Amino acid sequence: MPEELEKILKENQAIAIKINGEIKDLSYVSYLNGDEEIEIISPQTKEGLEILRHSVAHIMAHAVKDLFPDVKVTIGPAIEDGFYYDFDKDTPFTEEDLQKIEKRMHEIIKLKQPFIRKEISKDEAIKLFEALGESYKVEILNEIKDEKVSIYEEGGFIDLCRGPHIPHTGMVKAFKLLSVAGAYWKGDERNKMLQRIYGTAFPTKEELQDYLNFLEEVKKRDHRRLGKQLRIFEISEEVGPGLIIWLPNGAIIRKTIEDFWKDEHLKAGYQLLYTPHIAKLDLWKKSGHLDFYRENMYSPMDIDEISYQLKPMNCPFHIQVYKSELRSYRDLPLRFAELGTVYRYERSGVLHGLLRVRGFTQDDAHIFCTEEQLEEEIQKVLDFTLFILSTFGFNLYDIYISTRPEKYVGSIENWERATSALKEALKKRDLPYQIDPGEGVFYGPKIDIKIKDALNRSWQCSTIQVDFNIPERFEITYRGKDGKEHRPIMIHRALMGSLERFIGILIEHYAGAFPLWLAPVQVEIMSISEKHVDYATKIYNQLRSNGFRVKLNIENEKIGYKIRQASMNKIPYMVIVGEKEVEKNAITVRKRDGKNLELIKIEEFIESLNDEIINRK
């Protein structure tokens, strides 16, 4: 290796190198002839961090094989925030096992053992892994079409891998094993359940600690824990996984959101709909969902010898509403909105509180318009979406245009027209976007808006989809100015996505401390002693009659205990009533953050509450 290049590699903490645009192990440097285009890959880059994490996954597999020789290894990729490796082990790994694996990994790292790449024939590799008893590697090899494959050896541990890897194990400075979960081989429930160990790695210990602190904050905000603590929702095994039972507090939050949603849609020129939960199977054949969405649909049910289907979507029903009358160009655009509950099959392994469920309510709407109206309608939906999101406290987001997938319907010309309309609408609203290739739905391209929460995590919520296909399938038309029949364009859109998921995101975004307008209980009235119960009750009735959600706590408990309980329940305001308050015909108000307001009259308090609710602070 030339001395100058060696110096550059060391100064940049190189762990790999990009040669003519292709990432390679550092060992390839010795083959350079000087004419190549070279780029240094350090662990601080996105590509370098992925290589580092992938290498740590291999070190973990090495440690597991040392400690548990009978375990079979499968695959171990780097993922967005770390890495995992799947193992075939008859019993799950324990917390004690993870500690032993971490200890062994540190020993391997300390030895600074090199990652040595070898290229061998596929047949040689099959014989090698058969001899090692690694049947999963043999299965992978049998699916590879290449005649040659690469393997990596590190301290006697051999793994099938394309690479690249870090030069030696000693380059790992900071890692942590995080958790164990079950995972089916190749993600197929018909295959064996494997044990997946998750971990993460960073270039420095400081970055690792920052990430672990972030995970602690995520844990505190977990909507499943807070949902139980704050009595918002429940999932019962007797009812079934992925099916949400809204408790009284959750029902109030949901009602508040629904009322706001409906009022704003009526102001924006939408008409509200309610549609059935089932329909004849033929409806889903005609819409195309049965061909393109079958794996997400439940099995049909027979009623009077006719097959019916639980609805996975609302759009075919909205088509029926459109078809219920003759339509003219003067009627367009038509905007139909519905909080429609749909049912989709999700594997039990991916269900996750409110975020991944089997039955959920979409804040759905469909707009029928002419081609001339399309771009303006998309712009209006964008404005409406950002207004709704900002009202709930989401002002940061990333926008994507998802283009034509591999399986699609309709003409390429229509796809291009629809994609162009989405791009132009974003351009005119000066909203930057990225292209997400091949991620459109089967009937059309879409805009996806991913919001950022208080921890800067991204959540997919809002979507705007252009559809030329379903109007053609259902042969809907409108009478144009020329007296002829024309085909309308259909825009599918959801602003929050689903109420279940959106409320789950809200819980985590606010850590359960909802703004006043959303809080299930807005004020709790507390009496200091029995002498003050009548006055506390009077204040309670006055607040209730003014439309506030109020709780009265006149239990014979110390006031400090009452305050702690209300704080744990994240109630925005506590009104404390004692001797001083009775004498002054006033109240003492304590905010959720612990700050006490000065003694004020109840009328002033009511005025300030109303101002906060109206402005949705």
Say whether both 86 and 149 belong to one domain.
yes
In this structure, is residue 451 part of a structural domain? Answer: no
Say whether both 184 and 271 belong to one domain.
no
In this structure, is residue 444 part of a structural domain? Answer: no
Say whether both 530 and 504 belong to one domain.
no
Say whether both 26 and 154 belong to one domain.
no
A 10 A CB-CB count for 313 gives 20
How do beta strands 397-402 and 434-436 pair?
Answer: parallel
Say whether both 111 and 155 belong to one domain.
yes
Q: For 549-568, what is each residue's pLDDT tens digit? A: 999 999 989 999 999 999 99
Q: Which two tokens stand for residue 445?
A: 């391209």
Q: Which CATH number covers residue 351?
A: 3.30.930.10
Q: Which of 344, 358, 493, 532 is catalytic?
A: 344
195 counts as catalytic = no
347 counts as catalytic = no
35 counts as catalytic = no
Q: For 432-457, what is each residue's pLDDT tens digit? A: 999 999 988 888 899 999 999 999 99
Q: Which CATH number covers residue 181?
A: 3.30.980.10
Q: Looking at 510, 542, 573, which one is the last position of a domain?
A: 510
Q: Which CATH number covers residue 540?
A: 3.40.50.800
Residue 417 pLDDT grade (very low, low, confident, very high; cuts 50, 70, 90): confident
Q: Which two tokens stand for residue 204?
A: 């420095």
362 counts as catalytic = yes
265 counts as catalytic = no
Q: Which range, of 20-29, 351-360, 422-431, averages the lowest pLDDT?
A: 20-29
Say whether both 471 and 578 belong to one domain.
no
Q: Which of 86, 159, 364, 448 is catalytic?
A: 364
The radius of gyration of the chain from alpha carbons, rounded to an integer in Å, stands at: 30
Q: For residues 74 and 57, what is the distance between their CA atoms, to the nearest angstrom?
A: 11
446 counts as catalytic = yes
Q: Which of 113, 195, 309, 362 is catalytic?
A: 362
In this structure, is residue 173 part of a structural domain? Answer: yes
CA dihedral 199, 205, 206, 209 (to 10 degrees): 40
Q: For residues 433 and 444, what is the distance between their CA atoms, to the nearest angstrom?
A: 18
- Containing structural domain, residue 180: 49-207
Judge whether 353 and 360 are in contact, CB under 8 Å. Answer: no
In this structure, is residue 582 part of a structural domain? Answer: yes
Q: Which two tokens stand for residue 594?
A: 């612990």
Does pLDDT of 48 surpass 80?
A: yes
Say whether both 147 and 96 belong to one domain.
yes
In terms of pTM, does the model score above 0.95?
A: no
DSSP output for 193-234: EEEEEEEEEESSHHHHHHHHHHHHHHHHH-HHHHHHHTT-EE
Say whether both 268 and 385 belong to one domain.
yes
364 counts as catalytic = yes
Q: Which of 446, 493, 501, 532 is catalytic?
A: 446
Q: For 335-394, what is each residue's pLDDT tens digit? A: 999 999 999 998 887 889 999 999 999 999 999 999 999 999 999 999 999 999 999 999
Judge whether 86 and 185 are in contact, CB under 8 Å. Answer: yes
Judge whether 102 and 64 are in contact, CB under 8 Å. Answer: no
Q: For residues 354 and 457, what is the distance between their CA atoms, to the nearest angstrom?
A: 17
In this structure, is residue 134 part of a structural domain? Answer: yes
Say whether both 99 and 139 belong to one domain.
yes
In this structure, is residue 333 part of a structural domain? Answer: yes
Does pLDDT of 491 surpass 70?
A: yes
In this structure, is residue 458 part of a structural domain? Answer: no
Place of tokens 């075919």: 316
Say whether both 293 and 338 belong to one domain.
yes
In this structure, is residue 402 part of a structural domain? Answer: no
For 613, left (φ over 0), alpha (ψ -120 to 50), or beta? alpha
How do beta strands 334-343 and 271-272 pair?
Answer: parallel
pLDDT of residue 31: 66
Say whether both 504 and 362 belong to one domain.
yes
Specify the number of domains making up the chain. Answer: 4
Say whether both 159 and 56 belong to one domain.
yes
